[in-house]
Structure 1
Amino acid sequence: MKNFSMLLIAIFFFSCQQKENKNISVSKSDSAVTKKNTEENTTENKAENKQVGDTIFMNYKDEKDIFIAEGVVDSIHPRVYMKFKIEDRAELKARIVTPSGGGNIRFNQIIFPDKSTDGPFGMDLKIHLKQKGNYIFVISHSLMADNPYWGKFRVELESKKE
């Protein structure tokens, strides 16, 4: 009797663990609409430079040939890393714009492709880039000043070949 009750309990637990299979039928028109919506979403996402976590990837230029991205500095991400690629020697003009027009936020550092660094800078920057490759800007508030900036900002990068 004891063995029989153990067997029933084991069967009960195994039957509760099985997942229910649901057969969902999708017609061809539904899958075509789904594919079309997916393609539209990917083309919309490709046209923007967005912040993902603490990094902004500058991959897309606007019609004026300027990189523009929006970012957020908050207590979770006090530093934002902006990555971009330069193909030739260029003069780079960069600017941080806040909704209030000011604030304790700046380009703290630039990391060159050879891993050397320079900085700190202000909210506006003009620099000659002599190396081709991937550059990284570190954007955050100045540690030498009070009232760190928390909130949204916009970054504009314009590179002109030399």
Structure 2
Amino acid sequence: MKNYITIIIAIFFFSCQQKENKNTTVSSPDSVYVKKNNEIKKEESKQLGDTIFISLKNEKQTLTAESSLDSIHSKVYIKFKNEDLGTLNGKIIPSKERANIRFNQIIFPDKTSDGPFGMELKIQLNQKGNTILVIGHSLMAENPYYGKFKVELELQKTAK
């Protein structure tokens, strides 16, 4: 009888120690629309968890990405590689008219940062490389925003 109990306990412990194969990163492609010379071209951006990866390459282009904020993901990061110097114009369009959402921070390629900003952003990009925009609600205001929003980014290249 003692041997049976020992075997059952051993099987129970070995079965509980098996590794679970769970993928914690959520991958969902979002649409990014590029407007160049009055032509609208649809590109795919990739959203992994709370980060959206987009690309800025042409002389003047407008990119639109959609995402949402919830209690789990209270911030969204937009990451892009800046290959040209110029002015970055950004605008957040929430699904509700009055919303506590803003550009919290911009992180430049040399890891310096600037912010906070409002729902609109206009900043000079003086460095080439990976730039990150952090979007979230203002901690100084009440009622954090939870819901969908759209981000429009436009890079105006400076003349050489």
TM-score range, shorter chain: 0.5 to 0.7
Q: Deviations over 1:30-54 (max 9, x none)?
A: xxxxxxxxxxxx9x89823343210
TM-score, L = length of structure 1: 0.67
Query: Which structure has the highest helix share of the two?
Result: 1
CA contact (8 A) 1:91 1:129 kept: yes
Larger radius of gyration: 1
Q: 1:51 aligns with which of 47, 53, 56?
A: 47
- How many Å separate the matches in 1 of 2:56 and 2:66? 13
Moved over 6 A (4+): none
Which residue does the alignment assign to 1:142?
138
Q: How far 1:99 sits from its partner (Å)? A: 1.4
1:9-158 equivalences in 2 (<5 Å):
47-59=43-55, 65-158=61-154
Deviations 1:112-157 (A, max 9, x none): 0000010000000100100011100110000000000001000010
> 3-state DSSP class of the match of 1:49?
strand
User: Which amino acid is 1:88 matched to?
Assistant: D
**Number of aligned positions between the proteins:** 119
RMSD: 2.4
Deviation of the 1:93 alpha carbon: 0.3
Stretches of structure 1 that go unaligned for 5 or more consecutive residues are 1-41
Q: The residue matched to 2:45 in structure 1 has which SS?
A: coil
Greater strand fraction, Structure 1 or Structure 2 = 2
Quote the Cα distance in structure 1 between the aligned partners of 2:85 and 2:55. Answer: 18
When the two structures are superposed, what TM-score results if normalisation uses the length of structure 2?
Answer: 0.68
Separation of aligned partners in 2, 1:52 and 1:160: 27
- Measured in 2, the distance between the counterparts of 1:77 and 1:134 equals 22
Confirm or deny: 8 A CA contact 1:111 1:135 kept in the other structure.
yes
Taking only the aligned residue pairs, the percentage that are identical comes to 60
1:48 and 1:60 in contact (8 A); partners too: no
